[in-house]
Amino acid sequence: MQSEKLIELLLAYLSEREDKTTEISKLSNADWKALLRLSTHHGVAPLLYHRLSNAGVKVPDEVFEALYKAYHSNVFRNIQYYHSLSEVLKRLQRGGIDVIVLKGAYLAKTVYQSQALRVIGDIDLLVKKADLGQAEKILLEMGYGPTERPS
Whole-model pTM over 0.85: no
Which pLDDT score is estimated for 146?
Answer: 67
Burial of 52 (C-beta count, 10 Å sphere; 0-12/13-18/19+)? buried
Which pLDDT score is estimated for 1?
Answer: 72
Dihedral Cα 37, 41, 47, 51, nearest 10 deg: -30
User: What is the DSSP secondary-structure string of 20-73?
Assistant: -HHHHHT--HHHHHHHHHHHHHTT-HHHHHHHHHHHT----HHHHHHHHHHHHH
Render each residue's pLDDT in the chain as its tens digit; 151 residues: 788 888 888 888 877 766 777 888 889 999 999 999 999 999 999 999 998 988 888 999 999 999 999 999 999 998 898 899 999 999 999 999 999 988 877 777 767 777 788 888 888 899 999 999 999 999 999 998 867 655 5
Q: What are residue 102's DSSP bridge partners?
A: 124
Which pLDDT score is estimated for 151?
Answer: 56
Contact by Cβ (8 Å): 43, 58: no
Q: Which bin fits 100, alpha (ψ -120 to 50), beta or left (φ > 0)?
A: beta
Which pLDDT score is estimated for 98?
Answer: 96
